[in-house]
Amino acid sequence: MKMTQFYLPTLKENPTEAEIVSHQLMLRAGLIRKLSAGIYTYLPLGMRVLRKIENIIREEMTRAGAQEVLMPSLQPAELWQESGRWEIMGPLMARLQDRKCHDYCIGPTHEEVVTDLVRHEVNSYKQLPLNLFQIQTKVRDEIRPRFGVMRSREFIMKDAYSFDKDQEGLDLSYQKMYDAYTRIFQRIGLRFRAVEADSGAIGGSSSHEFMVLADSGEDAIVFCDNCQYAANVERAESMVSLEDGCEELKELAKVSTPDVKTIDNMVEFFNLPAGKMIKTLAYVAGKTMIIALIRGCDEVNEVKLRNQLNAVDVRLASDEEVLERFSAPVGFLGPIGLKDIRIIADPLVMKIQNGVTGANQMDYHYRHVNPGRDFTVREEDIIDLRIVKEEDSCIHCNEPLKVARGIEVGHVFKLGTKYSEAMNATFLDENGKEQPLIMGCYGIGVTRIIGAAIEQNNDEHGIIWPMPIAPFHVVIIPIGKDEEVSRVAEQVYTDLDNRGIEVLLDDRNERPGVKFNDADLIGVPVRVVIGGRGLKENRIEVKFRGTGDELKVAVEEIVDFITDQVESQLV
């Protein structure tokens, strides 16, 4: 490709709307342009990267035995009503009506459609296992799109769905996808980590997320350097060894504590560590209010709470709701004397001795609070509620845990029969008995990978593409107006092209500095500079964007040399 014929609008200055480096560079390097919040056009350069990523995914999915299909974006409401998600999805789903006033949505995901497809066509265990995938645009009306393609409202996703006759089959299908994902992200050249994940709204049991390590990541992941444990903080557990206390239990006492509203206030007022405080949080799950108890030094993991309550919409109660229910303002709540309300407590709370908590009365707290004596919690509602913190001990090996940021680029789930049962997708087993299909689903954020890759591979000059997803393998920069320079540049360009190397020839009538800077910005891995100066010595200059290594190669050897270099990095 010659640059004079390639639509590549690069920007010198950073658009103000872009905050993180990948977003800035995608705009500056001419990969994308914004149409609306969270909605982007992919320009030719961005398209080339997108296609590279898609093709790697395609190859590995096919290798793992999945078959490609393409399902509709426009989906009838009936299907979603059948699975029950027409309501559950809420405002996340973009909805519309056709001219006959029938409801439709633009697919945020495709479990319903694929289940519908398969229930019509698969009747026998002999047709299983089956794994179908597609690379498709999804639309989700995100609360707040941000960071360019990282969290956009329209994005491209690879989604695969497996169907098996039994649990063992699902386990195998799941493992195949897990392995395929590992290969995919390795080939793309990302530094990533697979972590245990909460399965969230999609449902199902076991699940792993593939996280690209980056400080700008929206997720926090917890991992252990000593063993293999790694989990999303939403799910992560840690060990806190707290011996049973041996303090003498003192008598419960109500204390006047004007203006002591926060844990910090309490620590100061009572001169006790935050670990002695019983933080009492009121939540609303659906329409019922519940209480969560956690130590003052800990924080509630709402995902764990939500799972325990088996509810989707769990939120902190508002100040007004708290005041109405407890006749005490936020800051003075406590579990003592509460009736007719479910209490969920972290086990560490139950070990506190002579602790402090609110008295459900403005400006009063209780001291010398002893769980079990002064209030009780049902055994099944004493569950781990904590958010794991850095330096907590690993639940497997007791070594200190670390916390890092990650960008979720892949997620694999074991769905089980959630959708097949809801939508009556069944097959006849060996005994002629009707059984629901056992499903798994597996997603990769294709467009998000572009952003994630740039987050990991950039410097002050621009993007540094890993060879397998680089939009071009090589950029040739002729310097000066010398006839000989253009002749050699043209020749090298043609020869490399014939070898199957993807070459960009910067044939613009621009000054060298402009060409160098654009080459750095768009991040082509190999730069070939052909100038009159070098040609006099029969030399062409090669520079590698990643390492910065620079060397001179004889004119007659340049094509072989470059070909070898590119191919060695493509494996």
Inter-residue contact 464 to 549 (CB < 8 Å): no
CB nearer to RNA: give 98 or 264: 264
Region of 55-63, 175-183, 393-401, 510-518 interacting with RNA (CB under 7 A): 510-518
CB nearer to RNA: give 136 or 565: 565
CB nearer to RNA: give 159 or 506: 506
Q: State the minimum distance, in angstroms, from the CB of residue 217 to RNA.
A: 12
- Report how far residue 216's alpha carbon sits from residue 82's, in angstroms, rounded to the nearest whole number: 38
Taking residues 353 to 382 in sequence order and writing x for each that binds RNA by CB under 7 A, - otherwise, the string is -----x------------------------
Provide the greatest CA pair distance for the chain: 97
CB nearer to RNA: give 54 or 219: 219
Region of 33-41, 54-62, 181-189, 344-352 interacting with RNA (CB under 7 A): 33-41
Task: Give the one residue of 307, 417, 491, 517 binding RNA; rule: CB under 7 A.
Answer: 517
Inter-residue contact 344 to 385 (CB < 8 Å): yes
Residues 6+ apart with CB under 8 A from 458: 21, 22, 25, 464, 523
Task: Give the one residue of 178, 480, 486, 499 binding RNA; rule: CB under 7 A.
Answer: 480
CB nearer to RNA: give 332 or 419: 332
Inter-residue contact 282 to 319 (CB < 8 Å): no
Task: Give the one residue of 147, 155, 229, 442 binding RNA; rule: CB under 7 A.
Answer: 147
Applying CB under 7 A, does 543 fall inside the site for RNA? yes
- Report how far residue 99's alpha carbon sits from residue 81's, in angstroms, rounded to the nearest whole number: 20
Examine residue 129 and say whether the peptide bond preceding it is cis (omega within 30 degrees of 0): yes
Place of tokens 């006492």: 253
DSSP letter at 128 equals -
Answer left, alpha or beta for residue 386, where phi above 0 means left and psi between -120 and 50 means alpha: beta
Size of the site for RNA (CB under 7 A): 64
Q: State the minimum distance, in angstroms, from the CB of residue 494 to RNA.
A: 20
Task: Give the one residue of 10, 182, 354, 435 binding RNA; rule: CB under 7 A.
Answer: 10
- Report how far residue 544's alpha carbon sits from residue 483's, in angstroms, rounded to the nearest whole number: 26
CA torsion sign for 155, 412, 24, 135 is negative
Inter-residue contact 273 to 379 (CB < 8 Å): no
Residues 298-357 that bind RNA (CB under 7 A): 299-302, 315-317, 322, 330-331, 333
CA-based radius of gyration for the chain = 29
Task: Give the one residue of 30, 108, 129, 145 binding RNA; rule: CB under 7 A.
Answer: 145
Closest CA to 482 of 552, 520, 534: 534
- Report how far residue 133's alpha carbon sits from residue 155's, in angstroms, rounded to the nearest whole number: 16
Taking residues 388 to 427 in sequence order and writing x for each that binds RNA by CB under 7 A, - otherwise, the string is ----------------------------------------
Q: State the minimum distance, in angstroms, from the CB of residue 144 to RNA.
A: 4
- Report how far residue 217's alpha carbon sits from residue 212's, in angstroms, rounded to the nearest whole number: 8
CB nearer to RNA: give 254 or 511: 511
Applying CB under 7 A, does 513 fall inside the site for RNA? yes
Applying CB under 7 A, does 512 fall inside the site for RNA? yes
Q: Which residues of 474-487 are buried (b: 16+ CB within 10 A; e: fewer)?
A: bbbbbbeebeebee
Taking residues 264 to 303 in sequence order and writing x for each that binds RNA by CB under 7 A, - otherwise, the string is x-x------------xxxx-----------x-x--xxxx-
Structure tokens at 261: 């509203």
CB nearer to RNA: give 148 or 416: 148
Strand ranges (E), 20-149: 32-36, 39-42, 67-68, 74-76, 94-97, 103-106, 130-139
Q: State the minimum distance, in angstroms, from the CB of residue 170 to RNA.
A: 32
Q: State the minimum distance, in angstroms, from the CB of residue 276 to RNA.
A: 13
Answer left, alpha or beta for residue 101, where phi above 0 means left and psi between -120 and 50 means alpha: left
CB nearer to RNA: give 334 or 416: 334
CB nearer to RNA: give 221 or 439: 221
Task: Give the one residue of 125, 418, 531, 566 binding RNA; rule: CB under 7 A.
Answer: 531
Task: Give the one residue of 37, 227, 253, 554 binding RNA; rule: CB under 7 A.
Answer: 37
CB nearer to RNA: give 187 or 235: 235
Q: State the minimum distance, in angstroms, from the CB of residue 38 to RNA.
A: 6
Q: State the minimum distance, in angstroms, from the CB of residue 228 to RNA.
A: 26
Q: State the minimum distance, in angstroms, from the CB of residue 206 to RNA.
A: 23
CB nearer to RNA: give 50 or 281: 281
- Alpha carbon distances (Å) from 177 to 35, 66, 181, 207, 232: 34, 9, 6, 12, 19
CB nearer to RNA: give 216 or 426: 216
Question: Residue 403: beta bridge partners?
Answer: 222
Inter-residue contact 131 to 160 (CB < 8 Å): yes
Applying CB under 7 A, does 449 fall inside the site for RNA? no
Q: Which long-range contacts (CB under 8 A, 24 or more apart) does 77-84 make?
A: 77/102, 77/103, 77/104, 77/105, 79/112, 79/113, 79/116, 79/423, 80/105, 80/112, 82/112, 82/422, 82/423, 83/111, 83/112, 83/115, 83/419, 83/422, 83/423, 84/422
Taking residues 189 to 208 in sequence order and writing x for each that binds RNA by CB under 7 A, - otherwise, the string is --------------------
Q: State the minimum distance, in angstroms, from the CB of residue 484 to RNA.
A: 12
Using CB under 7 A, list all residues that contact RNA: 10-17, 19, 34, 36-38, 143-147, 261-264, 266, 279-282, 294, 296, 299-302, 315-317, 322, 330-331, 333, 358, 387, 461, 479-481, 509, 511-514, 516-518, 520-521, 529-534, 541, 543
